[in-house]
Amino acid sequence: MATLACLPRAGPLRCRQRPALLTVLLLLAPVADANIYAFTDADGTTHFSNVPQDKRYRLALSTPRDTGEVTTGKRAAGTQYRASQRARWSQLIDSTAQKLNLDAALLHAVIATESGYNWRAVSPKGAIGLMQLMPATAGRYGVTNLYDPQQNVRAGAQHLRELMGRFDNDLRLVLAAYNAGEQAVARYGNRVPPYQETMQYVPRVLGNYARNQQRPQAVPEY
């Protein structure tokens, strides 16, 4: 996460960049009522700013203006959400699950726990969107905009599918790896790492999953 140092908060900043790193920076750009501008000078140093005072700056990223839905802070126990929030994204979630041969009830459970169906949710660690993806994880699945719900859900679902293959469909380990990382699970002998957040996260998702499986199925429209 060293690239965070290259993002401005309240003024210009400069850092020497490689082209691939610029993509990561754009994925990491915070939700705020400001745009991110950039230019590369003659010696190869790329400058970023949200208050461009040099005519060489060009718009690099337009950030969302409506910040009313942004959620920050630690994941609260039993993330709350309105039925309308779930309904808004149900078709996207269900179709993504079907395409990737995942149980839609599981995908819903992860999203409900991670973001409460808030597509603009941002965690203190930099996880973004419905699936709360870290930029490095999103990059593995070709995400170009972490705030795009379609890309976010697709990449999160692909990550879950990959983890299920790696951990032989053991949901406890899959969810632990989604929360703490595959390396953490492997480090503890393919067991749930003894991290407080992870130990709370796994049963929370499983509880949501069990409730989703009991929900009445929607009647298809013809």
* Active site residues per annotation: 114
Distance, CA of 8 to CA of 180 (rounded, Å): 28
**Cβ density class 33-50: b for 16+ within 10 Å, e for less:** ebbbbbbbeeeeebbbbb
Distances in whole angstroms, Cα of residue 170 to Cα of each of 59, 60, 165: 45, 42, 9
DSSP state at residue 143: -
Distance, CA of 72 to CA of 180 (rounded, Å): 19
Distance, CA of 189 to CA of 72 (rounded, Å): 32
Contact 72, 122 (CB under 8 A): yes
Q: Among the residues of 50-181, which ranges form H helices?
A: 83-99, 104-114, 135-140, 149-166, 171-180
One-letter identity of residue 99: K
